[in-house]
Amino acid sequence: MEPITRLISIDRSSPVPLYFQFAQQLQRLIEDGTLAPGARLENEISLADRFGLSRPTMRQAMQHLVDKGLLARKRGVGTQVVNSRVRRPVELTSLFEDLRRENRRPRSEVLSLRTAPAAGRVAAALRVEPGTDTVALRRLRYADDEPIALMENHLPANLLDLTEEDLAEHGLYALFRQAGIALRSAEQTIGARRATAAESRLLTESRGGTLLTMERTALDDRGRPVEFGSHLYRASRYSFEMTLTAS
């Protein structure tokens, strides 16, 4: 394999954050098999020096791929490429639309709508520098007057003119369409965890009950990230279904 320095290039004139440029290109090398599972990477200090990046920038790039499950840090071994996860596509629709299609009488309670600085996974997903303003909204979604999901979303600032009234009556993706924003694709991760006491109260679940988790980054037809969502669903009331086909 060619040295990694010949396979990744950094464009300092680009508006794309440096850490994301590096992480995105390294991700492509992992996904196309150039970097095979088990391959070891140099330490962050050496990589930062090779590419002329600061150590915090390189650390952020590597953590981005650790969070996505493409790299793993092992004590005494260093950073290694791990086996790619199985990705199962689901439809790019909103929960509001799914519930309406099933005649489940959806409605939303807006818990908060505010401006918040992007940090960590939000900044990485929206491809903005940490600290950049985003619109943060938190909603409790009902189906047939029963709480079913707790949803937190971050949008780039100035993308939509949102009001609590609009969010209570419409799904977010419907508001995107009304504003002329066409969604084209999304990256999504589904998992599960135990509910906290506060989440249990909001969702009327037993304390420590199982919740399905979903994180999604939606892109528009120009490839721009327009939404990062982090949602919790009651496992006792909701399931993800998908159709799988053989290659």
Same domain as 34, residue 132: no
Residue with the bigger pLDDT between 128 and 236: it is: 128
Same domain as 229, residue 139: yes
pLDDT at 217: 95
User: Which of 25, 57, 81 is the C-terminal boundary of a domain?
Assistant: 81
Q: Please, what's the b/e burial string for 175-200 (b: 16 or more CB within 10 A of its CB; e: otherwise)?
A: bbeeeebebeebebebeeeebeeebb
Same domain as 224, residue 184: yes
Q: Report yes or no on 115 lying in a domain.
A: yes
Residue with the bigger pLDDT between 245 and 228: it is: 228
CATH of the domain at 13: 1.10.10.10
Same domain as 198, residue 135: yes
Dihedral, CA atoms, 191, 192, 196, 197, nearest 10 degrees? 130
CATH of the domain at 195: 3.40.1410.10
User: Which of 59, 81, 103 is the C-terminal boundary of a domain?
Assistant: 81
Same domain as 47, residue 127: no
Q: What is the mean pLDDT of residues 76-97?
A: 68
Same domain as 107, residue 63: no
Report residue 181's pLDDT band, with 50, 70 and 90 as the boundaries. Answer: very high
pLDDT at 87: 41
Residue 88 pLDDT greater than 60, yes or no: no
Residue 185 pLDDT greater than 70, yes or no: yes
Q: What is the mean pLDDT of residues 31-43?
A: 86
Same domain as 122, residue 69: no
Q: What is the mean pLDDT of residues 117-137?
A: 94
Same domain as 150, residue 71: no
Average model confidence (pLDDT) across the chain:
87
Number of domains in the chain: 2
Residue 10 pLDDT greater than 70, yes or no: yes
Same domain as 114, residue 220: yes
Q: How many CB atoms lie within 10 A of CB 209?
A: 15
The span from the CA of 83 to the CA of 11, in Å, is 29
Q: What is the mean pLDDT of residues 94-122?
A: 88
Same domain as 166, residue 128: yes
Q: What is the mean pLDDT of residues 130-151?
A: 93
pLDDT at 86: 35
Tokens of 183: 């969604």
Host domain of residue 21: 4-81
Q: Report yes or no on 167 lying in a domain.
A: yes
